[in-house]
Structure 1
């Protein structure tokens, strides 16, 4: 990927419905070149699909949070398997630094979130945790994975 590919992807993130002509104008390339680059980005797996995001999709889980987990020893794989059975878990990320895993959570209410946090904290191997509520999304550059469709 070069700077033109990065600009194409940036423009598509802002407006995935942009016409090929307008996309070409925005990034300063010909339509033919932009089409070829888009095909290459799809074929190489950089772009995996396009989707529509509805307002209700973004409101499906009005209470969202990030839970950072400290895990005893090398138990991250076991904890990740346990987390896969928790419906409120939207994503699990490995990380470096103080925390071993960062868990994205989404629930309908704070009461529900509290129950999920309590459940996760009781997992054998979780030694410490910290949770931050997500208050408002100022900007989103990606669609949650559950909404991505591959053509």
Structure 2
């Protein structure tokens, strides 16, 4: 799996119904290339299926947190691609101020959250981080 495959998977995670044309434009490749890569990833078992996410599914994570990241150099786009490839990452946001990126993370257990945080901290380019657990949600978009 190369960087283009990882970017394609990230785009499909964001919107599995995206058209081949939109995916091709986002990746800077042809529609034929996108179709061939998706088929190859399906045949290799890397992609095992596509699914629908319901509003209730997004509230399923018993442990949720926000991880603020400081990124050194010009690695922000690369780090975001890596983050979006993690199954526990629900959203990534670029921001201004002290932190470069804010990551929404959802897991089943605190131990799993700890493993995800440790994995992210090992990404090349992460200079600093701070994490806050989300205790209660009073209002959510949608």
Structure-2-length-normalised TM-score: 0.60
Q: How far 1:59 moved relative to its partner? A: 3.8
Instruction: State which structure, 1 or 2, has the greater radius of gyration over its C-alpha atoms.
Output: 1
Q: Which runs of 4+ in 1 moved over 3 A?
A: none
Please show how residues 11-22 of structure 1 align to structure 2 within 5 Å. Answer: none
Q: For structure 1, which runs of at least 5 residues remain unmatched after alignment?
A: 1-51, 144-151
CA distance in 2, matches of 1:93, 1:58: 17
Aligned length: 90
CA distance in 1, matches of 2:55, 2:127: 37
Q: For structure 2, which runs of at least 5 residues remain unmatched after alignment?
A: 1-53
CA distance in 2, matches of 1:82, 1:112: 18
Match of 1:107 in 2: 107
Please show how residues 52-67 of structure 1 align to structure 2 within 5 Å. Answer: 53-54=55-56, 57-67=57-67
SS at match of 2:93: strand
SS at match of 1:115: helix
Q: How far 1:62 moved relative to its partner? A: 1.0
Cα RMSD for the two superposed structures: 1.6
SS at match of 1:82: helix
Structure-1-length-normalised TM-score: 0.56
